[in-house]
Amino acid sequence: MKNFFGFIFLAGLFGIFINSCKTEESMDQKIEKLLSQLTLEEKVSLIHGNTYFTTPAIPRLGIPALHLSDGPCGVREENSPYGWSPANWNNDSTAYFPALTSLASTWNTDLATEFGDAYGEEAVIRGKNIMLAPGLNIHRTPLNGRNWEYLSEDPYLTSRISVNFIKAAQANGIAVCAKHFALNNQEFERGTINVEVSERALREIYLPAFETAVKEGEVLSIMGSYNRFRGQYACENPYLLQTILKGEWGFRGLVMTDWDAAHTTVGAAKNGLDLEMMPMEGTKDSYYTGQPLLDSIKAKKIDPKVVDDKVRRILYVMLKLNIIGKSEPDTTGMEALLAAPSRAKTALKIAEESIILLKNDQALPLDFKNIKTLAVIGDNATRKHARGGGSTVIKAKYEISPLEGLQKKLGNSVKINFALGYTVSQNMKSINHALIKEAVKTAASADAVLIFGGLNHEPGLDCEGTDRPDMKLSYGQDELIKAVVKANPKTIVVMIAGSPVDMGAWISDVKGLIYTSYLGMETGTALAGVIAGDVNPSGKLSYTLPVKLEDSPSYVLGEYPGKNGLVKYNDDLLVGYRYFDTKNVKPQFPFGFGLSYTSFSYGDCKVAVSGKDESLQCIVSFDVTNTGKVEGKEIAEVYVRDLESALPRPFKELKGFSKVSLKAGETKKVEVTLNQRAFQYYNPDKKQWVLEPGKFEILVGSSSDNILLKQQVEL
Ligand code: BGC
C-alpha cells in the first residue's frame, strides 16, 4: 500500500477500510442476523449472478451488488451486462501488468507484494470488489493455451509468489479469486474433460498453491474449474469443495463457478458451490441455482439449509470487505488515477526483473556507442499483446512495444531499420519468403540485429480456449531466424512466449537469447533497458524448456490430451523438472535457469536443525559472491532430496529460494528456512502429510541442474 499516494483519500471515499477491531464472532452474529431477515427468494437471488460480472443487491438490508472483474494482468475492459461484447466506455483503460508467468520468473516475493498492491489499487479505482485472479494451475504440458496466465510448473514457486500477491491485493479492501480449482491444466476439451490423477500428485503438485492461498493468504474467493475430476464436474465436486477446501483447509470464503460451469441444480446446490456465475447459455437470467432451485426446495427435494451456508459465505466476504450498508463507490472522474506513475513503475520493475537471459556468447549487452545501424526484425517487435488471450484481455492505457522502447532509448543516436520478417496469419505453418528476404537484407547491412519472435495471443497459441498444436514456432520463424543469422552472425533473438517453444532449429547458431513472457505496458522500456545493459537481467525460468515436445513428461509418460473425454495424469509426480531430473533427460534449458551480465559463486554452506513436527526449522545458510564486474541479482535455489523413502519421490524438489542483490565483488550470507512441509510427502494410505525419519540432502544451486552446495541432514 506504500506506493498508493491517494489511498487514504480513496479509502475514505469508497468506505472500504476494513475495521480490524471486528472479531470473527461479531461477524458471525451479523451474518446470522442478516440471514434471519432474508426471505428464501432473496437468499436464492444472492447465490447466482445478476449480469455477467455482478451479483444482485438487496437494498432493503443494505446488501450490495458484488462487482467482479477479470483478470491477472489488471482490470478488464467493462463488459456489456449480458454478453461478452465491450460496453464501449471511455474511462476504463487501465494499467496492463505483466503476466503471472513473468511475475514468477522474477522469483521475487517482494515484487509479488508490490504487484498485488498496485493491482488492488487499480481494482479499487474501477469500483471492483472481486478480482478474478490469480490463476494457480500448474504448467503440466507445454501446449496448454493458458500456461502464460499461470505461474509455474512448480507448486512451491507458485505458492510463494502468489500468496504475497493475494495478501497485498486483498489489503486494499478487495477480494481476489484463486482459480481454476482444480486440475484445469489444458484448454483442450476443458468444459468436459475428466481428469484422473493419483491422490499424491493431487496433493503434492496440483493443490499446494490453493492450499497456501487459503491457509496463509486467506484468499476470500475460489473459482471452480470447467473440467471434471474423477467423474464429477469441479464446480459440483464434493471431494474438492467440501472435503478438502472447506473441510480440511477450513476455507470460509465463497466458491464461485467459472463462467457457465454449473451443470445441474442438485450438484450446484449440494456439493459445495456458493455462487453460480453467468446464466445458462442462450438465456439472460436462467441459472441452475435460480428458479429450478426454488422449485426443488419447494418440492422438498433440496433442503433450504444448503442455501443458508452459501449466503453465509457471500455475506462473510461482504463483511470482510466492509461493503454492507454502504453506498456504492462513485468512481466518476477517477480514471485519471488508473495506471498512475507509481503503478507503471511497479509494472516496469516486474518486467525488468522477469526477463531471462538464456544464452550470451559475449553478445549482450549491446554497446550502442559503437553501433550505427540496428536491425529490428519480427512481428513481436511491434505487436501489442494487451487486447488478446481470452478473459485476461486488457484495454491498456498504453503499451510500449519493443521497437518503441528501443526508439525511445536510442533516439537519433542509432539508426533503427525495422523489418516484419513474418506475417501473423491463421495458417500458422505459412512462410512469407518475401518478408524473410527483406529481413535478410536489413540484417546484412546492420551492425547488430535483434529478432523479436515467439508466440502471441492469437487463437491456437498463448490463448484461452485452445491448446497449441505443437511446440514449434509458427509463421516460418525458424526459417527467418536461420536466414538472418546466416546473413549477420551478430544476431540476438528475443523470444516473447508464455510457454515453451522449440528452438532446436537455430539455438546453437545464435550468440544471444533473451526469453520473456508478456511484460505488460512497459514491455519496450524493460527490454531496451536489458538490451542496452542499464538493467542487469535477473529472471530465471519458472518452467523447463524441453528440447522438443516429445521430451516432455506429459508426452512421454502421458497422457495428453486424453482419450474419449478422459485424461490420465500418468506422469503423476513427475511434472516439469521433477521428470527431467529423475529420468535424467537433458532439457534445452532447465527450470530455474537464467544468466546475468555478472557471475556468482556459492560457498560455506551450513545447515542447522532445531525443533520438531510443527516447529521444525532447518536453517540453510550459505554465501553468494558477485564475482563479476557489475552489480547484479542472483536467485539462489534450495532443493530437498529424500535419500530414504518408503514411497518413490522425485529426485529433488524446490523448497526454498532467495533473490539477493550484490555489488561487484560483494559477498552476502543468504539464509533460507525450511519447515516440516519441505521434507514431507503425502501418504495416501494415512491420508496425511508425513515426515519419514531418515536422511535428506539439501541441495543449493543456481538452477535445477546446477547444484553447487550439498549438505546432509538426518531428521
Ligand atoms: C475463464 C475465467 C474467467 C471467466 C470470466 C472464463 O472463461 O476461464 O478465467 O475469469 O471466464 O471472464
600-714: same fold as 355-543? no
pLDDT cut 90: percent of the chain above it: 93
Please tell me whether the peptide bond between 187 and the residue prior to it is cis, using omega within 30 degrees of 0: no
What is the 3-state secondary structure of 202-213?
A: HHHHHCHHHHHH
Q: What pLDDT does residue 328 have?
A: 86
* Cα-Cα-Cα-Cα dihedral sign, residues 589, 557, 471, 527: negative
Q: Whose CA is nearest to atom 12 of ligand 1?
A: 391
**Cβ-defined contacts of 28-37 (< 8 Å, 24+):** 30/315, 30/319, 30/324, 31/312, 31/315, 31/316, 31/319, 34/61, 34/63, 34/315, 34/324, 35/308, 35/311, 35/312, 35/315, 37/61
CATH topology of domain 355-543: Rossmann fold (3.40.50)
**pLDDT of the residue at 25:** 64
- The domain limits of the chain are 38-335, 355-543, 600-714
Provide the pLDDT for residue 12.
46
Q: Quick check: CB of 70 below 6 Å from ligand 1?
A: yes
Q: What torsion do the CA atoms of 120, 126, 132, 134 make, to the nearest 10 degrees? A: -30
Residue nearest to ligand 1 atom 3, measured at CA:
391
Is 258 a pocket residue for ligand 1 (Cβ < 6 Å)? Answer: yes
- pLDDT category at 358 given cuts 50, 70, 90 is very high
Does ligand 1 come within 6 angstroms of the Cβ of 77?
no
The model's confidence at residue 329, banded by pLDDT at 50, 70 and 90, is confident
- What percentage of the chain exceeds 70 in pLDDT? 97
Tell me which of 66, 259, 275, 281 to substitute to probe ligand 1's pocket, judged by most ligand atoms within 8 Å of the beta carbon.
Answer: 259
Active-site residue among 70, 92, 154, 258?
Answer: 258
Q: In Å, how far are 116, 411, 697 from 110, measured between CA atoms?
A: 10, 33, 28
Whose CA is closest to 52, among 87, 16, 80?
Answer: 80
Query: Where do we find the cell 471431494?
Result: 239
Nearest CA to ligand 1 atom 7: 259
Residue of minimum CA distance from atom 6 in ligand 1: 259
Predicted confidence band of residue 23 (pLDDT cuts 50, 70, 90):
low
Tell how far the Cα of 199 is from the centroid of ligand 1, in angstroms.
27
**Residue 256, ligand 1, Cβ within 6 A:** no
Q: How confident is the model at residue 11 (pLDDT cuts 50, 70, 90)?
A: very low
Ligand 1: residue of 76, 136, 258 to mutate (most ligand atoms within 8 A of CB) is 258
Kindly report the number of other CB atoms within 10 A of residue 231's CB atom.
10
CATH tag, 38-335: 3.20.20.300
Question: According to the model, what pLDDT value does residue 331 have?
Answer: 86
- Other Cβ atoms less than 10 A from the Cβ of 683: the count is 16
What does the chain come to in residues? Answer: 715
The C-alpha cell at 428 is 500458422
- Domain 600-714 CATH superfamily: Immunoglobulins (2.60.40.10)
Mutate to test the pocket of ligand 1, among 132, 260, 277 (most ligand atoms within 8 A of CB): 132
Q: How far is the CA of 179 from the centre of ligand 1 (A)?
A: 9
Write the pLDDT tens digit of every residue in 417-475: 999 999 999 999 999 999 999 999 999 999 999 999 999 999 999 999 999 999 999 99
Say how far apart CA 131 and CA 281 lie, in whole Å.
Answer: 23
Name the closest-CA residue to atom 8, ligand 1.
Answer: 258
Kindly report, residue by residue over 28-86, the tens digit of the pLDDT: 999 999 999 999 999 999 999 999 999 999 999 999 999 999 999 999 999 999 989 99
**What per-residue confidence (pLDDT) applies to 214?**
98
In the chain the first and final C-alpha atoms are separated, in Å, by: 41
Whole-angstrom Cα Rg for the chain: 25
CB of 391 shorter than 6 A to ligand 1? yes
Q: CA-to-CA distance for 137 and 519, rounded, in angstroms?
A: 20
- CB of 179 within 6 A of ligand 1: the answer is yes
Q: What is the pLDDT of residues 250-269, one digit of tens each?
A: 999 999 999 999 999 999 99
Between the CA of 224 and the centroid of ligand 1 the distance, in Å, is 10
Measured in Å, residue 259 CA sits from the centre of ligand 1 at: 6
Mean pLDDT is lowest, of 273-282, 308-317, 392-401, 411-420, for 273-282
In eight-state DSSP terms, residue 135 is: B
Residue with CA closest to ligand 1 atom 9 = 391
Distance of CA 203 from the midpoint of ligand 1 (Å): 24
Q: DSSP assignment, residue 9?
A: H
Q: 461: CA distance to ligand 1 center in Å?
A: 17
**Whether residue 259 has its Cβ less than 6 Å from ligand 1:** yes
pLDDT at 284: 77
**Do the beta carbons of residue 355 and residue 507 sit within 8 Å?**
no
CA of 472 to the centre of ligand 1 (A): 27
Candidate from 70, 100, 176, 466 with most ligand 1 atoms within 8 A of CB, to mutate: 70
Closest CA to 549 of 514, 585, 501, 482: 501
pLDDT in tens, 485-513: 999 999 999 999 999 999 999 999 999 99
The C-alpha angle with vertex 243 and arms to 240 and 245, in degrees rounded to 5, equals 60
Task: State whether the beta carbon of 4 lies less than 6 angstroms from ligand 1.
Answer: no
Let me know: does 210 contact 222? Beta carbons within 8 Å: yes
Nearest CA to ligand 1 atom 11: 259
DSSP codes joined into one string, 386-439: TT-SSTT---BS----HHHHHHHHHTTSSEEEEE--S---S-TT---HHHHHHH
Task: Give tens-digit pLDDT for 181-200.
Answer: 999 999 999 999 999 999 99
Question: Which atom from ligand 1 is nearest to the alpha carbon of 76?
Answer: 12
Indicate if ligand 1 lies below 6 Å from the C-beta of 132.
yes
User: Which pLDDT does position 551 carry in this prediction?
Assistant: 98
Quote the ligand 1 centre to 7 CA distance (angstroms). 29
278 CA distance to ligand 1 middle (Å): 10
Q: Does the active-site annotation cover 367? A: no
Regarding the beta carbon of 577 and ligand 1, being less than 6 Å apart is answered no
Spacing, Cα 128 to ligand 1 middle (Å): 16
> Of all atoms in ligand 1, which is nearest to the CA of residue 278?
5
149 lines ligand 1 (CB under 6 A): no
Q: Using most ligand atoms within 8 A of CB, pick from 391, 392, 393 the residue to mutate for ligand 1.
A: 391
Please check the confidence at residue 22 and state whether its pLDDT lies above 80.
Answer: no
Q: How far is the CA of 173 from the centre of ligand 1 (A)?
A: 22
On average, the pLDDT of the chain sits at: 95
Predicted confidence (pLDDT) per residue in 121-179, tens digit: 999 999 999 999 999 999 999 999 999 999 999 999 999 999 999 999 999 999 999 99
- Which ligand 1 atom sits nearest the alpha carbon of residue 190? 8
State the pLDDT confidence band at 8, using cuts at 50, 70 and 90: very low
Please give the distance, rounded to the nearest whole angstrom, from the Cα atom of residue 652 to the centre of ligand 1. 34
Do residues 682 and 204 lie in contact, with contact meaning Cβ atoms separated by under 8 Å? Answer: yes
491 lines ligand 1 (CB under 6 A): no
Q: Which atom of ligand 1 is nearest to the CA of 53?
A: 5
- pLDDT at position 276 over 80: yes
